[in-house]
A and B are shown apart, each in its own frame.
Chain A
Amino acid sequence: MSSLTQITVSPHIHSGRSTTGIMLDVLISLLPATVVGVLIFGWRALLIVAVCVLSSVAFEALFNLIIKKDQTVGDLSAAVTGLLLALNLSANVEIWQCVIGSLFAIVVVKCIFGGIGHNLVNPAITARVFMLVAFSSLATPSFPVDAVASATPLASEVLPSLKDLFMGNYGGAIGETCTAALILGGLYLLVRRVITWHIPVTFIATAFVFSFFMEGFVALDALALVMSGGIFIGAIFMATDYTTSPSTGWGKVIFGIGAGLLTCLIRYFGTYPEGVSFAILFMNILTPYISRWTKRKVFAAGGTR
C-alpha cells in the first residue's frame, strides 16, 4: 500500500446531490413549459429564451472574471435565472430589453450580494418587476400566433375556456400559459425531491379559495382565474427558490399562503392586473422573519423527560 491514504473528518460518503444537479433538474422541469411556449408564441419566444439564458450566463461569468472570483456558471443557476426570466416575459418584448433584464437579475440582484445563496430576493422575479416598471411595452402581453387575438385574461371580461387555460392557448407570458406543462414540471421536481409540496399547494389553494369567494362561489370561474396568469409558474418554480423562501415545512406554508393572498389582493384591489411577481417579491423580503418564527424545535430542548 502506498502511504497516500487521505486523512479527513467524517462523514466519508456523500449523498451525491449537488447544486448543479438540482439546477439541472429545474432546467429539465421547465422544458415542457418552454417547448409549449415556443409552439404557442412562435420562434420569437425561442429567441427570447436563448437571449435571456445566454446573457444571464455571460453576465455571471463576466462578473466573476472582473472581481476575480471562482467561476460559478457551471452550477447552472444563472441559466435557471435566465430561463425563468424569459418564461415570465411576453414574446413581444424587445431583445435589448431582455439583455437589460438579465443584467439586472444576475448582476444587481444576485452577484453584487455575493452570488448564489446570498441574494435576498428572487433574481428572475425582481428583474421582471424591474422590467415591468421600466419598459411600458411589457404591459402588452403576447398572443398565440395562430389564435384569435384576445386580451390577457386577467385584463379582460371574458375568460378563456378551461381547456385553453390548461393547454396554454391564450395570451400571456411565454411560459406561464400552459398549466399542463407547468404541473408536469412541478411533478418532476416533487419526484426528484427538489421541491416539496408546501409552497405550490398552499399558494395555489389560497388563491383558489380567495377567488372562489370573490367570484360568488363559482368554482369553475375561480379555477379559471387561478389557472390564468402567473400563479402556476410562480407557485411551482419561482416561490420555491431555496435562497429566498423558508426552509421548514411550516415556514413554507406561511410563505405559500402569504403569496396566494397577496396575489389576489393585488389582482382584485390593485392597479396591476397581475400580482404574482409582487406577491413573491414581498414574501421574499419577509422570508428571514418567517424563518425566525418557524425554527425547528431542538430535540429535548425542554429538558430530559
Chain B
Amino acid sequence: MASYLRGIHTPHRKGTKNSPAVRMDIPQRVTIPMSMHIGKPAVPTVKVGDLVKVGTKIGDADGYISSNVYSGVSGKVTKLTDYLMHNGAATTAVVIESDGEMTIDESITPPTVNSKQELVEAIKASGIVGLGGAGFPTYVKLDVDPGRIDYLIINGAECEPYVTSDTATMLTRSDDMVDALNALNRHLGIKQVIIGVESHNKKALEAMKRMAASVDGFSVKVQSLPAVYPQGGEKVLVYHTTGRKIANNKLPIDVGCIVLNCTTVAAIGAYLRTGMPLVEKCVTVEGGAVKQPQNVIAPIGASLKDLFDFCGGLTEDPAKIIYGGPMMGITVANLDMSVIKNTNAVLALTKKESKLPKTTSCIRCGACINTCPFGLEATSIAEAYEKKDAAMLSELSVQSCMECGCCSFVCPANRPLVQINKLSKQFLREEAKKESDK
C-alpha cells in the first residue's frame, strides 16, 4: 500500500463514547416500515387486528435482494399505513399497539446451521441488513463461493462525528461477535479477519484485541486506522486494511473481501445463539438539543419522539433532526418517524451546531481537490454539471464519488460541492437511461 488516502479532520464530538447502551421504555406504539433495506420492500404478512409477539414475522422478503421484517413488541396490529422513509422512498408500514408485555414469540429457536447454505439461509431469515447505514441485506454478501473470500473486514471505524453506537457494540458485544466469526469461519472458510478501528478509539481497540485473542482456528487482526474521516467508507477501509483497490461499480468481493459492520456481525452472532431476529437497534441519541445524550437500544419502529423523550426530551427547538451522522446523515421534518434497522444515530442539532457559512465564489484554493479521498476534482465537476456535460462528468469520474462530503466540509466558500456531485451522478444515470431507452 502506497499511503493512506486523504480525508479531513472532523470534530469527533463523541460525548457518548463511554455510554453503555440503555434499553428504552417499551413504546406504546411502533410503526415498522417495510423498506428498511436496499432492495425491494418486504410484503406485510399481517393484517389489522392480528396479535403479534416479539420476533413475530410481519413482513416477508420479496425477491433476492430484500429482507424479512419482524415485530419488536408484543401487541396488536392497528393499521397498515403509507409511510415516507427519511430517504424519500414511499412504502407501507405496520403500526402495532404494544401490550406492554414484550412476550416473546414461541417459535423463536436458535437456527440449525451445519453448512454454508444453512448459514446463509439463517442470516436471510434473521432480517439482518448492513447496520452501519447502508442496509444491504447481509445474507446476499455472504452468498458467494467461499473460494473467492480472502478477507472478512469488520468495519469498526465509525468515522462520523457524534455516532458511537458501533463503539458500544465493540465494548459490550464481543461474545456475539465471536459467535458470528466462529460460524463464518466454519462455514465460509474465512481464515483472515481484519477489524478496523480508528486510532483515537482506544477502548474499542483494546476490546477488539481481547476479542481477537480469544478466537481459535483462524486469525483476527485488529488494525488501528488514522483518525481521518472517512475511514468507514467501504472502499477506503478495504484499501487501508488490505491495500486492494475497488474500482467504480465493483464490489469488495471483486477483490476478495467481504465487509461487514461490527454491529451487523454482533447481530449475526446473537441470532445464531438465540434465534431472535433483528427487532431492535442500538442508536446514538445526541446533539446539542438533546437533554441526556446516550446510546439507546430501541425496538425497531419506535418513534423519534419516544426516543428523545427517553433521553430527557429536547432542551430547545432543534434546527435539524438527522438520521445518521452530520457528514452523510439525512434530515427529517417530524418526530413521528421510526427507528429502522440501520439507524445508527439520531441527532437533534442546535442552530449553532449546524450553522453553515454563506456560499460565496470559488477562490480556487484547491481544498476540495486536496482532501478528496479519491482524488476527484469537485470544482471541475461543478463546472461540467453546470454545462450538463455528461462526457466531461464521466471523464471526471464523478460516479466514483462516495458522497462523503469532505469537499463541502472544507470549502471556505461553502460551495455545495458534494451536493453537486450527487446531482451529477443522478444526471448521468438519467442520461444512461435515456440512451438505453432509445
Contacts and interface: CB of A to CB of B under 8 A. Distances in A.
A10 B357 contact: no
Q: Say whether chain B's binding surface is mostly helix, strand, loop, or mixed.
A: loop
B414 A18 contact: yes
A299 B374 contact: yes
B245 interface: yes
Contacts of B248: 300
Contact of B5 (A16, A72, A299, A304): A299
B317 A22 contact: no
Nearest to B375: A296
B383 interface: no
B27 interface: no
A29 B21 CA distance: 49
B53 interface: no
Interface stretch (A1-9, A92-100, A151-159, A184-192): A1-9
B328 interface: yes
B255 A305 contact: yes
Interface stretch (A225-233, A242-250, A256-264): A242-250
Residue of A6, A115, A248 with most partner-chain B CB within 10 A: A6
B109 interface: no
A95 B412 CA distance: 35
Interface residues of B, number: 69
Interface in B344-401: 349, 353-357, 360-367, 369-370, 372-377, 397, 400
A68 interface: no
Nearest to A118: B361
B374 A15 contact: no
A14 B375 contact: no
Interface stretch (B110-118, B188-196, B292-300, B319-327): B319-327
Q: Say whether chain A's binding surface is mostly helix, strand, loop, or mixed.
A: loop
Given A13-B327, A117-B361, A304 B254 contact: yes
Contact of A1 (B317, B326, B355, B372): B317
Contact of A247 (B366, B408, B409): B366
Interface string A3-40: 11111111111111111011000000000000000000
B373 A14 contact: no
Contact of A2 (B317, B357, B361, B397): B317
Interface of A: 1-19, 21-22, 72, 75, 77, 114-118, 242-243, 246-249, 295-305
